[in-house]
Amino acid sequence: MINLKAVSKTYETPAGKFAALKNIDLEIRSGEFVGVVGKSGSGKSTLLNMLAGIDRPSSGAVAVAGTEIHALPENKLAVWRGRNVGFVFQFFQLLPTLTAVENVMLPMDFCKTFPLRERRKRALALLERVEVGAHADKLPATLSGGEQQRVAIARALANDPPLVLADEPTGNLDSVTATSILDLFRRMANQGTTVVIATHEADIARVIDRRIEIWDGQIHPKITQMFSR
């Protein structure tokens, strides 16, 4: 599903070159639920951006769902991203002037993945699936943090992507809500979606298939473990 070969990312800063990722090799199977763990600044977000095609590697190859995305031009990359990747953010990033259901319909409108008439029906079904169907016609500001993140997850699933990425999806939620959100990701993985989340939540071992620890831009070999489920 995901195959990274010798991926490095270097940023030019006023203080000199900064290596955010150093020679990363990584393989993630279809339907796997992977947790990327590490301290702030360790390179978690850079790795996720690499998988989403938001950022490009300085060197190395990134293949996701059979596409060599590091080689795609920007416009084709945007189309590919819309259909293949769902992204969940720490601060939800819902559009404030759109209702919950409209926020979920938006990716379908942009990518034209489903016929116009089916879009609202599908959006409502997705909201039901993440248990916020009752709030479909409310504006994000009237929802709680957990509800907003559920809407954001429904939006990430709108185009039925094979890969869902989440950057600190529970970072802004209380622990009870965080647990239920992580369960939601677990269920998505069980249904065949590949899920990669970046977190510094220690308590994710319960739900994930594999834990990848990033230290200083490198995958730490000893702490990266397989969990048998």
Partner 1 sequence: MTVPWRKAIRDFWHERARTVLVVLAIALGISAFAAVMSSYAILTRELDLGYLATNPASAVLRLDSIDDETVKAILQNPEVSDAEPRRTIRGQIKAGPVQWRNLMLFVVQDYGNIRVSTLVPERGAWPPANGEILIERDAFQVAKANIGDAVTVKTVNGVEQPLVISGSVHDVGQAQARMENIVYGYINLATLVQLGYVTGNRMTNVQTRNTKLRARGLRILMAEAGIDEERANIGIDLAGGDLPLAIVMAKTGCELNEAKQALNSSSGVVTKAIEALQK
Per CB under 8 A, residues contacting partner 1 are: 95, 97-98, 102, 105-106, 109-110, 116
> Please, which residue, 72 or 98, has the CB nearer to partner 1?
98
CB of 95 to partner 1, least distance (A): 6
CB of 119 to partner 1, least distance (A): 8
> Please, which residue, 152 or 195, has the CB nearer to partner 1?
152
Asked if 25 and 178 count as a contact pair (C-beta separation under 8 A), the reply is no
> Please, which residue, 99 or 148, has the CB nearer to partner 1?
99
> Please, which residue, 16 or 96, has the CB nearer to partner 1?
96
CB of 224 to partner 1, least distance (A): 41
CB of 71 to partner 1, least distance (A): 30
Q: Note the helical H segments in the chain.
A: 44-52, 74-84, 100-111, 116-129, 145-156, 175-190
Amino acid at the residue 137: D
- CA dihedral (78, 81, 82, 85) in degrees, to 10, reads -160
CB of 160 to partner 1, least distance (A): 17
> Please, which residue, 40 or 97, has the CB nearer to partner 1?
97
Identify which of 89, 90, 72 has the alpha carbon closest to the alpha carbon of residue 81: 72
Spatial CB neighbours of 26, under 8 Å, sequence gap ≥ 6: 2, 3, 4, 7, 212, 219
Report phi then psi at 55, rounded to 5: -120, 155
